[in-house]
Structure 1
C-alpha cells in the first residue's frame, strides 16, 4: 500500500467517525518553545490548554513534523527521520480511552476491502502506563488482546507531556512484531527493533509542573476535561504495509537513494568493507533531502542561526555524504527534483514552488563546495603544523575549529588525515562537541518556559474575529469588549495608564504581511482619549490595540470612536503598494524565480527580500527602478477583491512563498497583468499615489536571498534632494561639473592609494635602515642571540615578516631568534624568524608563535624557521617579548 493511500485511509476512517479534517499547519508556528512543529498535536495546543475553544469536539489531521535534536544520529538507526508525517485523531472533552483504543484497533486490523490496513491482529502488542488498569482492561476484555501481549511500562515510556508545564497524561502505545528475523521475543520491553511502535494514544487528563526529562516532574492535578491526542507514524506504517526492512526503503525515500546510487556509483545495501558506513550516508541523503525540501517550502532559507542554521546543516550533510560516497559533480538538484516528485501528490504546493525550492538548495550546495575547498587549505595548514612539531596526531582543537568555525565535517578531516599518514584526536574533538551540545541543550531548555497565558483573550477569540473596517474608512464607531493590562482583564483604565483595548470592530490595521501597524486614537464623547501606538493580532483574528490613556477613562462596554492617523496610513499604503511594484519589476528583470522571501513596509520606506543566486548588477538595478517608476507614472488602477484560493492561483496571483492561506483570499491587482498578488494589507487607490520610488541599494541577507530597500513618495523626494545637495557640494569642492565628479573622485582615490603605497615603502625602508642597530643590540640568551623588539613604524604583517627574514640573514651561521611586533590599524601583527643553527638546537618559530599568540589575543602559525600571526591586544606585547626570551632561555 503506497504512502499516499495510507494517508487517505487514515483521514477517511476518522472523518467517517465524526471527526473534522484539519489541514497540516506550517512547520513554523508562533511558539517561543518550538523551533519547528515536532508533534501532531502542536497546532491543537491552545485547545488542550483551554486558551481557545476548538472548532469541533473531534478532529483529525496529518501533520508534517520536524525533529532535529540529534541530527548526527540520523541514518545510523533505521527507525527515525528528521521529517515525518504524524497522523492523529483528537478529542476535546468528547470521547476518551475506550473510543480512542477502538478507533485505532479497527483501522489497523480491518481488512483492506473495508477501508482498514489489514494488519494481522496477533502481531500487535499494546503497552499501557504502569498503573492504568482501565486501559489494560479495555485492551484485554473489550478488544480481546491476550494479557501476555499487554505490557505495562513506567513514566519515561508511557506518560506523555510537551516537555514543559502544561497538559499531560498516561499513554498506550501500539507496537508491531516484525518477527524473529529482527530480534528476540518478549514484546517491546525486550526489543524495540523487532517490536516497532506505530501508534501512541495519549489520554490527556492531567496538568504537569516544571521539570527536566520525561519523568522528572510533578503531576499537579486533573485537567478540567479529559482529552485524547494520538499520533500514528505514517512512515512506520508504510514500512510494515510495503513489506520493507525500514523507513528508508519505502516509496517516499527509496527513490532518493536510487538517485544517489546513480550519482555516486555506489550501491545501497552492498556487502563488504565500508558497506555499513555507505548505507548510513545514503540514508542521510534521503532523509535530509526530504526535510530540506519541506523546510524551504515553508519559507526557511539557509542561515547561520535558528531555523536557517538547521536547514544549512541538513543541506551540507547531504553534500558531504554525496562526496564521501564518490560523487564528483553537483547532486542537489537531482535530489530535490526527486523529493518533489514523490511528495507532491500529498503536498501539491511543492510542485508550484519547485523552481524556488531547487534554486535555494542548489545555491547552498555551491556555497558549501567553496567552503570545502577553503577547509581543505586549512586542513593542509593544520597537517603541516602537526608534522613540523614532530607529532602524528592532529589536535582535537584543530579538528573542532575546522568543524565549528569553517563548517568542515569531521569525517572528511579523518579521511584526509589518514591519506596524509596522520591521525586525529577524536576523543578531544568529541569532548569539545559534547561541551557544545551541552551548552546548546541548556540554552534550548532555558528558552522553554510555561506557555504564555493567553487565556485572558479566550472570550474574545470565542466571539469571533475583529471586524476590520479600515479598507473602507479611517474612523469607526466601536464597542470596548475588554481591557487587558499586565496579563489580566481590567474593568477600567484611566489617565497615564498603558493597556490593551479589545474592540468589536476597528479601522486600525494590525501588523501583518510585512506592513507595520497603524497608529491613531480611541476616544469617547465624554472626553476620554487614548493614543494607539501599536496594533497586534491574537490568534490571527482578534485585534489588540496598545494604548496610553491621555484623558478620562475607558470602561468595558463603552462606545468609542477608533480613528486612524491619516498621514501615517497614507505613507503605509505608499510603502505597501510600492513593494508590489518593486516585486513585479524584479520578476520582469530577473525572471520568475525572483520570488518574495519577506518584506517590510512602513510610511515612506520599503524593504523587499527575494530569491536570487547572485547580486543584482548596476544595470539591472537601474532597469528595476525605471520599470517601477514607469508603473507609477502609468497611474494604474489598484483593484482588490476576494475569491477562492484555487481560482486566485489560476488567475496567476502571486502567493508569498511559504505562507499558508485559507480557502478565501484577498487579491490586490495593480495594472492588470503588471502585478497580481494575494495580500491582506492596505493600498493606494492608483499607482501614481505611490509617488517616486528610489532604490537605495541591494545586498545579500542569506544564502540565495537578496534584499532591496527603497524610499517612496515624499521620502523618496527628500532623499533625492539630499543626494543632489551632496553632489553639488562635492562638485563645488572639486571645482568640476556634476557629471565629472565620479571621474575626478576615482582619480583622487588612485592618487591616494599610490601615496599610501609610497608611505608603506618608506616605512619598510626606514625599518630596514634601523636593522643594523637591532642586530647590534641583540641579547645573548644562553648560546643564542635574541632580537625581540616592538617597532613603532606601524608595519603591516607582510612587511614585518620581510624585515624579520632580513634580520635573520644578518646573523649568518650563528644561533639567533628574531621576534618583531608592531601595531597597525588596531591590529598587532608579529613575526618570528629562526636561523638554521637555532633550529638545530630545538627552537621552532612556529612553536614560539603558537605560544605567544594568546598573550596578544590572537592566533598564528607557520614553519619551524619562519612563522607569523596577528592579535588585537597591544597591551600583551611586553609579556610576549618576555615569553620569547624565556622560551629561548629554557631551550638553552
Structure 2
C-alpha cells in the first residue's frame, strides 16, 4: 500500500466518523522554544491547555514534522529520520478512551478491501500505563486482546505530559510483533521486535512541577478529558510495504535508487555507503518539504538546519564518488513521490528548486576553498603529533569558508581526529557578543502566558483600526512583567488590554501603530502593540500622567501621520511584489517582508543579483501601478476559496479558516494579508527602490522608500549630484565618465606608490645582510621595518636578506612592521639553520606571543601577527633568546 494511500485512508476513516479534517500546520513552529513542529498535536496545543475554544469537538490531521536532535544518527541506524509525518485523531472533551481504542483497533485490523490497513490481529499487542485498569479492560472488551498480549509499563514509557505543569495522562500503544529475527521474545525495551506504531494519549490529569519523564506529582483530573493520538505514517508504510525500515518505503527509496545510478555504487553492499545513501535520501526529502514551507538556507535557527541537511546530502554524494551537481538529479525524484500527498509542491517547485540549487552551487564553491584549508590543517595537526584540530581552525573554516562545525567534526573524524569544539564555541560566543544585538529581542515577550490567558478569558479584543483611527474604549486589564496587576502609576511602563482598539498589532511584516490612550487625568504613550495570545491585543505603554486601573474609560487614538505612512509602505510592499512577479516571473515569490512608515523591504525567491536595468524596470512597473490609481479592497473568505481565487500566501504562515484577502487592481495583486492599506494605489505616492542584495542562497532582498520618505531620498540624491558636479566642474550627465576617469588615475597612482615603497624597503636588504648579529654561531638579523610595510613586502624583505647571506653559516632573519596599528612578523631560515634543528614556525610563534597574537608556517619561512604594537621590540629580542636557548640547550 502506497504511503499516500495510507494517509488518505486515515483521514477518510476519521472524517466519516465526524472528525474535521485539519490541514497540516507549516513545519516552522510558532513556539519560541521549537524550530519545527515535532508532533501531530502541535497546532492543537491552545485547545488542550485552554488558551482557545476549539472550533470543532473532534479533528484529524496528518502533521508534517522535522526532528533535529538526531541528524547525526540519520543513516547510521534504520530508525532515525529527519522529516516524518504523524497521523492523528483528536477529541476536545468529546469522546474518550473507549472510542479512541475502538477507532484505532478497527482501522488497524479492518481488511484492506474494506478501507482498513488489514493488520493480522494475532501479532498485535497493546501497552498500557501500569495503573490504568480502565484501559486494560477496554482492550480486552473492545479488541478482544488476551492478558498475555497486554503489557503494563511505567510512567517513563506510558505516561504523557508536555514537560511542564499542565495537562497530562496515561498512554496506550499498539505494537506489532515482527518475529524472532528482530529480537528476543517479550523484550519490550529493544524496540525492534515489538514495534510501536500508534500511541493513544488519554489526556485526563493535571501535573505539577518536576523534571524528567517521571517523578512529578499528579494534582488532579481535567474538567474535560481529551484524546491525542499519533500514528507514525512512515512506520506503518514499511510494515505494510514489506520492507525493513523507513528508508526503503516508496516515498524515500527512489532517491536511493537514483543516487545509486549516478554513483555506480550499490545500496546494500557496504555499510559506509549505505549510511551515505540513507543520508542523501532522508535529507533531500526533508529539504524539499522545508523549502516548500518557506524555510531558506541561512546561518541561524531553521535556516541553519536546512543548510546543514542540504550540505550533508551534497557531501555524501561526493563521498559516494559523484562530483557533479546532484540536487538537480535527486530533488525531482523526491518531488515525484511526495506530490501524491502534497500536490502544492508541484506548483511551487520552481521556487523550491531555485533555492536548493543555489545552495548547492554556493556549497560547491565552499567545499573547493574550505577543503583545501581543512586538509592543510589536518596535515599540520598530524605532523605535530596532536590528535585534535584547533578550535581556532574550526572557527576559521566556519567564519571564512562557511563550513558548519558539524561538517568539520564529521570530516575530522574521518581523518581520525577530534575537534576542539569548546574552543570553537568560545570564539563563536565572542563573535556573537561583538555582533549587534537582535533588534527584535524586545518582542520575545514572557515565557509564561498565564497572565495573557487570564485576560483573554474575558473576551476577544475587538480591532476597529480598519474603519477608524480613534475609538472610545475601556481598560480590560493591565500586566506588569507578564502578571496581571491591579494598577500602575505615572512613570511606569506596563502592558494594557482594552475592550476594543484602533491600534494595529505588529504582524505580517507591518510594525505596530503608535499614538496615545487618554482618559480622565490619564495619558498613555503607546510604545508597541502585540498579539501574545490569539484574540488578545496588548499595548505596551508608558504612563505619562495619572493612575491606570482596570475599568477606566479611555479614548484610544492612533497617530494619524504614522498610520498613513504605514499604509503607504504596506500597500507599496504588495505593489513591489506584484511588479517583481510581472518582471521576473511567477517564481519570484515573497518569502518575508518588513514595513514601517515610509520604508519597505521584501525578501523573495531568486538565485542571482538583479542588474540595474531589471531594477529600473521593477521600479517603473511599480510606479505605473501607483499612477493608475488602482482600487485597493479587502474581503474575507475561506482559505480554500482564497487559494482557488489565486491569492498568494506567505510561506510558513499559519492561517485561520477565514482569511482576509487584499486586492490591488483585481488579479494583478491578490494576497492574504491582515495589514492596513491605502484605498487607491495612487495614495502610495512616489516609490523608489534603494537597494537589492542577497540574504541567503536563493533569496534576494529589495528595499524601497515610499511617499514623503521617497521624495526626501530623491532630494538627497539630487543634492549629492549637484555637489559632485560643482566640485568636479562638470555637468550631471557627465559625472559617471568623470568619476570613472578619476578612479582609474587614482589606481594608477596607487600602483606607482606601491612600487616605489617596495623598492625603498628592499634597498635596505643589502645593508641588513652585511650586519648580522652572531648568536652562538647563528647569524641573526632582527629588524623592525618602517610602519606601514604590509605582510607581503615584509616577507619579500626577509627572503631577500636570507638569500644574500648564503648557506655557509646558519642564518635566521626576523622582520617586523606595524601596519594599520597591527604588528606583523616574518621569520626566514636558511638550510644550514634548519640542519641545526631551528624551525621558523617555532620562532615566529614565540614572536607572535609577544605581539598578543599567533603565527605559524613551514620550517624555512613562517609568518604571524598580533594586536599589540608595544611588544614589537620584545618580539625580536624573544626570537634572539630562543635561538640561543635552542643552540646551547
Q: CA deviation at 1:772?
A: 4.1
1:770 alignment partner, SS class? helix
1:608 to 596, 602, 611: 602
Provide the aligned length of Structure 1 versus Structure 2.
871
Q: Does 1:844 align with 2:842?
A: no
Deviations 1:550-599 (A, max 9, x none): 44555544554332221111101111111122222222332322211211
Cα distance in 2 for partners of 1:25, 1:183 equals 37
Q: Does 1:296 align with 2:291?
A: yes
2:416 to 402, 417, 426: 426
Equivalent in the alignment of 2:662: 668
Equivalent in the alignment of 1:824: 819
Q: CA deviation at 1:196?
A: 1.6
Equivalent in the alignment of 1:656: 650
Q: Which runs of 5+ in 2 are unaligned?
A: 433-440
Cα distance in 2 for partners of 1:163, 1:852 equals 55
| C-alpha contact (below 8 Å) 1:636/1:686 kept by paired residues | yes
Deviations 1:418-459 (A, max 9, x none): xxxxx9762533x6489969x99xx9xxx9x99833233336
5 Å-filtered alignment, 1:363-442, equals: 363-382=358-377, 385=380, 389=383, 395=389, 400=394, 404=398, 406=401, 426-429=416-419, 432=421
Greater CA drift, 228-237 or 662-671: 662-671
Deviations 1:476-535 (A, max 9, x none): 3444443333333345555444433333433322211111112223344x4644333322
1:322 alignment partner, SS class? helix
Equivalent in the alignment of 2:216: 218
| C-alpha contact (below 8 Å) 2:296/2:696 kept by paired residues | yes
5 Å-filtered alignment, 1:2-17, equals: 2-17=2-17
| C-alpha contact (below 8 Å) 1:397/1:428 kept by paired residues | no
Cα distance in 2 for partners of 1:727, 1:527 equals 52
2:630 to 613, 633, 636: 636
| C-alpha contact (below 8 Å) 2:502/2:558 kept by paired residues | yes
Equivalent in the alignment of 1:691: 685
Cα distance in 1 for partners of 2:872, 2:171 equals 65
Deviations 1:831-863 (A, max 9, x none): 221101111222222343455545545554433
Cα distance in 2 for partners of 1:376, 1:242 equals 41
| C-alpha contact (below 8 Å) 1:29/1:36 kept by paired residues | yes
1:802 to 796, 804, 819: 796
| C-alpha contact (below 8 Å) 1:52/1:455 kept by paired residues | no
Q: Does 1:510 align with 2:508?
A: no
1:787 alignment partner, SS class? strand
5 Å-filtered alignment, 1:526-545, equals: 526=520, 528-545=522-539
Q: Does 1:466 align with 2:456?
A: no
5 Å-filtered alignment, 1:20-31, equals: 20-31=20-31
Q: Does 1:336 align with 2:331?
A: yes
Q: CA deviation at 1:61?
A: 2.3
Cα pair distance change 1:173/1:819, threshold 3 Å: farther
Equivalent in the alignment of 1:721: 715
Q: CA deviation at 1:171?
A: 2.8
Equivalent in the alignment of 2:436: none
| C-alpha contact (below 8 Å) 1:828/1:873 kept by paired residues | yes
Cα distance in 1 for partners of 2:709, 2:353 equals 38
5 Å-filtered alignment, 1:199-348, equals: 199-208=198-207, 213-215=212-214, 218-219=216-217, 221-222=219-220, 224-225=222-223, 226-269=225-268, 271=269, 275-348=270-343
| C-alpha contact (below 8 Å) 2:374/2:397 kept by paired residues | no
5 Å-filtered alignment, 1:159-174, equals: 159-174=159-174
Cα distance in 2 for partners of 1:212, 1:303 equals 34
2:589 to 595, 606, 620: 595
Cα distance in 2 for partners of 1:735, 1:592 equals 46
Q: CA deviation at 1:13?
A: 3.4
| C-alpha contact (below 8 Å) 1:385/1:861 kept by paired residues | no
| C-alpha contact (below 8 Å) 2:28/2:652 kept by paired residues | no
Cα pair distance change 1:341/1:641, threshold 3 Å: same
| C-alpha contact (below 8 Å) 2:168/2:204 kept by paired residues | yes
5 Å-filtered alignment, 1:746-825, equals: 746-813=740-807, 814-825=809-820
Q: CA deviation at 1:615?
A: 1.2
Q: CA deviation at 1:304?
A: 0.8
| C-alpha contact (below 8 Å) 1:519/1:568 kept by paired residues | yes
| C-alpha contact (below 8 Å) 2:101/2:142 kept by paired residues | no
2:418 alignment partner, SS class? helix
Q: Does 1:485 align with 2:483?
A: no
| C-alpha contact (below 8 Å) 1:587/1:594 kept by paired residues | yes
1:822 alignment partner, SS class? strand
Q: CA deviation at 1:804?
A: 0.6
Cα distance in 1 for partners of 2:221, 2:836 equals 78
2:620 to 623, 626, 629: 626
Equivalent in the alignment of 1:420: none
Q: CA deviation at 1:416?
A: 9.6
Cα distance in 1 for partners of 2:17, 2:638 equals 28
Cα distance in 2 for partners of 1:70, 1:689 equals 52
| C-alpha contact (below 8 Å) 2:825/2:847 kept by paired residues | no
Q: CA deviation at 1:473?
A: 2.3
Cα distance in 2 for partners of 1:411, 1:35 equals 18
Q: Does 1:193 align with 2:192?
A: yes
Q: CA deviation at 1:22?
A: 2.8
Cα pair distance change 1:337/1:660, threshold 3 Å: farther
User: Normalization by structure 1: what TM-score?
Assistant: 0.89
| C-alpha contact (below 8 Å) 2:392/2:424 kept by paired residues | no
Equivalent in the alignment of 1:564: 558
Cα distance in 1 for partners of 2:876, 2:98 equals 80
| C-alpha contact (below 8 Å) 2:409/2:418 kept by paired residues | no
| C-alpha contact (below 8 Å) 1:483/1:490 kept by paired residues | yes
Cα distance in 2 for partners of 1:382, 1:492 equals 63
Cα pair distance change 1:604/1:436, threshold 3 Å: closer
| C-alpha contact (below 8 Å) 1:320/1:409 kept by paired residues | no
Greater CA drift, 615-624 or 830-839: 615-624
1:426 alignment partner, SS class? coil
Cα distance in 2 for partners of 1:383, 1:74 equals 26
Q: CA deviation at 1:37?
A: 1.1
Q: CA deviation at 1:396?
A: 6.8
Cα distance in 2 for partners of 1:413, 1:553 equals 59
Q: CA deviation at 1:734?
A: 2.5
Cα pair distance change 1:59/1:865, threshold 3 Å: same
Equivalent in the alignment of 1:584: 578
Cα distance in 2 for partners of 1:81, 1:717 equals 54
Deviations 1:653-704 (A, max 9, x none): 3332333333433333323454332322222222222111122111111121
Q: CA deviation at 1:782?
A: 2.5
Cα distance in 1 for partners of 2:108, 2:851 equals 68
Q: CA deviation at 1:17?
A: 4.4
Cα pair distance change 1:153/1:640, threshold 3 Å: closer
Greater CA drift, 192-201 or 770-779: 770-779
User: Normalization by structure 2: what TM-score?
Assistant: 0.90
| C-alpha contact (below 8 Å) 1:479/1:558 kept by paired residues | yes
1:522 to 511, 517, 520: 517
